[in-house]
Amino acid sequence: MCEVCAIFGAGEHWSDFARQRDDRFPFEDILHYRAERRRRIAMLNALVQPLGLVCEDWDGEALALTDARGRTKIAPTLGDVWPIAESLSGRGIDPLSEDFIAPMREAPAHG
């Protein structure tokens, strides 16, 4: 746990359940949890790279998105990544579109 930020280093978002059991914090599986998290961030970078964005881990719990101008925004959960990526890039994210990244459009209202 980060004593400054009071962050446990393990997310509670549904997508953070890369663990072996239903425990709130995956202390016993922490290495497995972190390895799966690293893999996910690598995949996420491949997806947001066309938007000119880079994603980094933030204390094992949140995600930091940075654009080419150096602007950084923190996404507390994976669900928050997409609206932030849209706001930083001005492009839309739509998994139903052919390339996942939709042409320039107005970002949807839901996050």
Partner 1 sequence: MDERLPLIVVTGFLGSGKTTLIRRFIETAEGGDSGLMVNEFGEAGVDHRLLVHASEAVELIDGGCLCCARRADVAKAMHDLVRMAKDGSRAGGGLRRAILETSGLADPAPVIATLARDPWLKAHVRLASVVAVVDAVAGLRNLEHRPEARRQVAIADTVVITKGDMRAAEPTARLAAAVRAISPDARILDIQDETFRLGDVLAGRESLHAPPSPFLADAPDHDSEVSSFTLPIEGALDWPAFTLWLSALLHAHGDRILRVKGLLRTTSSDRPLAIHGVQHVMHPPTHLSADDGGPSFLVFIARGIRKAEIERSLARALDLCGSGANVPEPVRRGAPLREGAAPAA
Interface residue list for partner 1 (CB under 8 A): 12, 14-15, 17-22, 32, 36-37, 39-40, 43-44, 46-47, 78-79, 81-83, 92-96, 98, 100, 108, 110-111
- Least distance to partner 1, CB of residue 16, Å: 8
Supply the minimum distance, in Å, between the C-beta of residue 81 and partner 1: 7
Label each residue of the chain as H, E or C. Answer: CECCCCECCCCCCHHHCCCCCCCCCCHHHHHHHHHHHHHHHHHHHHHHHHHCEEEEEECCCEEEEEECCCCEEEECCHHHHHHHHHHHHCCEECCCCCCCEECCCCCCCCC
Beta carbon of residue 3, minimum distance to partner 1 (angstroms, whole number):
21
